[in-house]
Structures are given as structure tokens and as C-alpha cells.
Structure 1
Amino acid sequence: MLDVTVIEDPEAAAVSLDPIRARLLAELAAAPASAAMLAGKVGLPRQKVNYHLKALERHGLVELAGERRKGNVTERLMRATAASYVISPLALAAVQPDPDRFRDQLSARYLLALGARLVRDVGTLITGATKARKRLATYALDGEVRFASAADRAAFVQELTAGVSALIRKYDAHDAENGRDHRIVVAVHPTVKDPAVEDAAVADQSPTPELENE
């Protein structure tokens, strides 16, 4: 079972978003189970559960984990193909975000468009690498910092921009025939914590000319 996988097919995305099927995916991510075993957990007849499992199996969201004999019946034990799923913007190809339409580094919606493109591109790369049975070379850095003031936040962003830009200039070998292009995405946004207090925290942050949020 994979830790996470990306759903690119629109029909598979629709199947996964059904509340009952999403519940079945969660149960099967925890442990393999048969339709009969799942029926009691989700409060549906076994035949109905089996119908949903077949839909999930057709789209590669669940797979056969094994079989077991119970009386005169052979039960199919199913499991989720991943512990969690991410729906790629490719599933909504006609309306997927395009960060190239606008470039506003201080726009929260621009950041969202960049994040969507990141999911789309990395999902496509994972799919290709899996088919080719090759490892995908990636890197991610995740951290958290508390700024004492909006001025400190703006200063951090300026230093971060200067530092990353200097590294890009240092290592960018645009003339290298055998080189490969890599995309770099750096983001800064408020940490999302308890939704009950998040609105109040956002309200307390007055926008500044140096780093204004949408």
C-alpha cells in the first residue's frame, strides 16, 4: 500500500468523493476486509457494499488482498491501494488553476494556483516513474516560524527571496546539454491551527504594504 497517491482521472475522482465510498476507502486503508465485514461498519447490506467496492476496484482505488473461505462462500478481501488520496487538478482539466495567468507573489490565490500545479506535476511524475519502475528525485522542506511583527515577516521574505535567487543564479546551467530543468516553489503562509480561533487570529493581522494578504 502506498502512503499517498494522486487521482488524475475525473471518473475516479467522482467515485472517491462519494461519502459511502470514501468511508469504505478509509476502512480498507486501515485493514483488508470483505463486503460482509464492511456491511456492519457502514450500515449497508452486503450486496450494496459489494456494488460500491466494484466501482472502487474498477478505478484502481482498491485491490484484492486475498480470499478466505467462510462456510460455502469464498469472500474476497479488499484493501485500499493507498493510505490517502489527493485529487489532481487534471481531474478538472478545463478549469484547473494556471499560475502563469498572473504573477502576484503577495496573492494568496496565486499561492493556491502554484500549490495546485505542484500537485498536478508531481502526480504526473509519480505516475510516470511508477510505470517505468524508477525512483523520482525530489526534495521538500517544511518548517514553521513565528514572526514577532509584520515588519519581521516582510524582512524574512526579502532575505528568503534574495537567498534563493542567488542559489538559482549560482547553479542554473541553462547551456548544459544533458541537464534537466527543475521547478522550485517556496511558500510562506500563516499556519492553520484550530479553526475556532483561526478567524480571530486572521482578524488581528492588519495587512501591511510590505506583505499584504488577499
Structure 2
Amino acid sequence: MLDVAVIEEPAAAEASLDPIRSRILAALAEPGSAAMLAVRLGLPRQKVNYHLKELERHGLLELAEERRKGSITERVYRATAASYVISPSALAAVSPDPSRSPDQLSARWLLALGSRLVQDVGTLLTGAARAKRRIATFGIDAEVRFASAADRTAFADELAQAVATLVGRYHDEAAPRGRNHRVVIGLHQIPALRPGGPEGSEAGPQQQSGGTHKTKPEAGLENAP
């Protein structure tokens, strides 16, 4: 079972969004049969069987084993992944395009970048799975608490300069065996529910004092030949 699978086909995306089927996928993080699911979810077994066949048809479930019980063969399924992400390619005609209106200060442009990231990495994962290869990726997840908006602006300026310097140093347009890589960096406030106020408000109760900094060393790297 994969940790995360990317759904690229519109029909598969539609199947996964059905409330009953999403519950079935969650339940089948551990292998189970239609009879077990019917009891757990409180649904008729015939209805569960129908949804299982649809999920299997779209590659969201796989057959784990078949068990003989007298004259009956019980099919045991498991989800193909622990969690799923729907790629913007499933909505190809209306998927975000960051090249339309680049704006470093636009939250919607940042969202378009994130959508392209999901689509690009999803395509790579699909191809790598078919070829039974790994892909080279690197990720950093960090949190920073700014004392003021001015500090946030200064941080963004320094970050942009640092990235531009690194790209200029290592980019080699003439490298005969070089491979193009995309670097995506985003800075956004962490949504937080404020009692009596809107979600994501800058005046949340956790922001009583400024200047603290926390970095989570959650960088991941997969190396490919």
C-alpha cells in the first residue's frame, strides 16, 4: 500500500468523492471483506459489494486475497493507498495555470502554484510506479512567527534573493545530460480558528508575543539514478 496516491482520472476522482466510497476507502486501510464492511458501516452487503466493484474498477482498491468458506469464496480487499490526492488534471479544462497572472503577493497565484505542484509530482509518481523507479524530490516544511508585517516583508525579500542566487549558481542551460527541475517556495499564514472571529485572523490568541521561530526538520529526499 502506498502512503499517498494521486488520482488523475476524472471518473476515479468522482468515485472517490462519493461519501460511502470514501468511508469504504478509509475502512480498507486494513484488508476487509464486504461482509465486514457491511457490519462496520451499517449498510446492506449488496450495496457494499456494488461500491467495492466501482472502487476496484477505478484502481482505488485491490484484491488482497480470496478465502474459501465452504462453497463460498470471500474476496478480501484493501485500499491501494492510505490517503489520496486528486490532481488538478482531473479538471483539466479548468485547472489553475500559474502562468496566466504571475503575482508573488497573490494568494490565488500561490494556490495555482500548489495545484501545479500536485499535478507535476502526481504525473512523476504515476510514471515512476509504472517503471518501478524512484524520483528525485526534496521538501522543506518550516514555521516562522513574525513580530511584524515589516519583518515578514524583509524575510520574503531575503528569501527571494537567496533563491535567485542559488538558481543562478547551479542553473546550467548547456549541460548535455542535465534535467530541468522546478523550485516552488510559498509563504502563507497558518489557518487558525479564533474564538468569536474569522479563521486565519492575524490577531489570534496564539499571537500574543512576537519574534519566536520554530523550524520543523521535515525535509524529505528521494534519490533517483
1:132 Cα deviation after fit:
1.1
Provide closer, same or farther for how the CA distance between residues 16 and 153 of structure 1 changes in structure 2, counting only shifts above 3 A.
Answer: same
> What's the counterpart of residue 4 of structure 2?
4
Query: 2:19 aligns to what?
Result: 19
Q: 1:210 corresponds to which residue?
A: none
Q: Is the 8 A contact 2:190 2:200 kept in 1?
A: no
Equivalences for 1:27-176 in 2 at 5 Å?
A: 27-29=27-29, 31-176=30-175
Aligned residue for 2:222? none
Please give the TM-score of this superposition, normalised by the length of structure 2. Answer: 0.87
CA distance in 2, matches of 1:196, 1:99: 35
The letter for the 2-side match of 1:16 is S
Distance of 1:203 and 1:133 partners within structure 2: 46
3-state DSSP class of the match of 2:85? strand
Question: Greater strand share, 1 or 2?
Answer: 2
Partner Cα distance (1:184, 1:64) in 2? 38
What is the CA distance between 1:197 and its match in structure 2?
Answer: 7.1
CA drift at 1:200: 5.8
8 A Cα contact 1:192 1:198, kept in partner = no
2:208 alignment partner in structure 1: none
1:115 Cα deviation from its structure 2 partner = 0.3
1:185 aligned partner: 184
Runs ≥4 in structure 1, deviation > 6 angstroms? none
Q: Within 2, Cα distance between the matches of 1:155 and 1:43?
A: 56
- 1:60·1:81 contact (CA, 8 Å) conserved in 2? yes
Distance 1:135 1:170, change over 3 A: same
Kept in 1, the 8 Å contact 2:194–2:200? The answer is no
In structure 2, relative to structure 1, the CA distance for the partners of 1:195 and 1:54 (3 Å cut) is farther
Please report how far the alpha carbon of residue 42 of structure 1 lies from its aligned counterpart in structure 2 after TM superposition. 1.4
**CA RMSD, 1 decimal:** 1.6
Cα distance change, pair 115–75 in 1 and its aligned pair in 2 (3 A):
same
> How far apart are 1:196 and its partner, in Å?
5.4
Alignment size in residue pairs: 204
Over the matched positions of the two proteins, sequence identity in percent amounts to 63
Contact 2:192/2:201, CA 8 A, preserved across alignment: no
Amino acid at match of 1:193: A
Preserved CA contact (<8 Å) 2:191 2:200: no
Give me the TM-score of the superposition, normalised by structure 1.
Answer: 0.91
* Worse overlay, 19-28 or 71-80: 71-80
Q: Quick check: which one's helix share is greater? A: 1
Give me the whole-angstrom Cα distance separating, in 2, the residues matched to 1:55 and 1:69.
23
Query: Are the aligned partners of 2:97 and 2:112 in contact in 1 as well (CA < 8 Å)?
Result: yes
- How far has the Cα of 1:72 moved from its partner? 3.3
Map Cα deviations across residues 52-86 of structure 1 (whole Å, 9 max, x no partner).
00000000000011122334322111000000000
Give the drift of 1:88. 0.3
Question: In 2 relative to 1, CA 84–146 (structure 1 residues): closer, same or farther, beyond 3 Å?
Answer: same
Counterpart in 1 of 2:219?
Answer: none
